[in-house]
Structure 1
Amino acid sequence: MNAASKFGPVAEQEFENAADHEKPRLESWLETLPGLSDEHFFDVAKAAIFQSAVVASWSGNWNADHCRATAVYADAKRRHREAGHVDDCQGQTLYGRAHSMVMREQGYAPMPSGKCRCDLSGTAQVIR
Structure 2
Amino acid sequence: MNPATRFGPVAEREFVSAADHAKPELTAWLEKLPGLSDDEFTAEAASAIHGSALVQRFKGNWEADHCKASAAFNEASRRHLAAGHTEDCTGDTLYSMAFLRTWRSQGHSPDAYPPRPCDCGAKA
The reply to whether TM is greater than 0.5 is yes
Q: CA RMSD in A?
A: 1.2
Q: Which residue of 2 aligns with 1:44?
A: 44
Aligned residue identity for 1:63: E
Aligned residue identity for 1:72: A
Q: Which residue of 1 aligns with 2:55?
A: 55
More helix by share: 2
Cα distance between partner residues in 2 of 1:113 and 1:17: 35
- The 5 Å alignment of 1:61-72 reads 61-72=61-72
Runs of 4+ in 1 over 6 A off after TM superposition: none
Aligned residue identity for 2:67: C
Q: Secondary structure at the match of 2:80?
A: helix
Q: Secondary structure at the match of 1:102?
A: helix
Q: Which residue of 2 aligns with 1:28?
A: 28
Aligned residues: 122
Q: Which residue of 2 aligns with 1:88?
A: 88
Normalised by the size of structure 2, how large is the TM-score?
0.93
Cα distance between partner residues in 2 of 1:88 and 1:52: 26
Structure 1: state its 5+ residue gaps.
none
User: Given that residues 90 and 113 in structure 1 are in contact (C-alpha distance below 8 angstroms), is that contact kept between their aligned partners in structure 2?
Assistant: no
Normalised by the size of structure 1, how large is the TM-score?
0.90
Q: Which residue of 2 aligns with 1:119?
A: 121
Kindly indicate whether residue 25 of structure 2 is the aligned counterpart of residue 19 of structure 1: no
Identity %: 52
User: Given that residues 45 and 98 in structure 1 are in contact (C-alpha distance below 8 angstroms), is that contact kept between their aligned partners in structure 2?
Assistant: yes
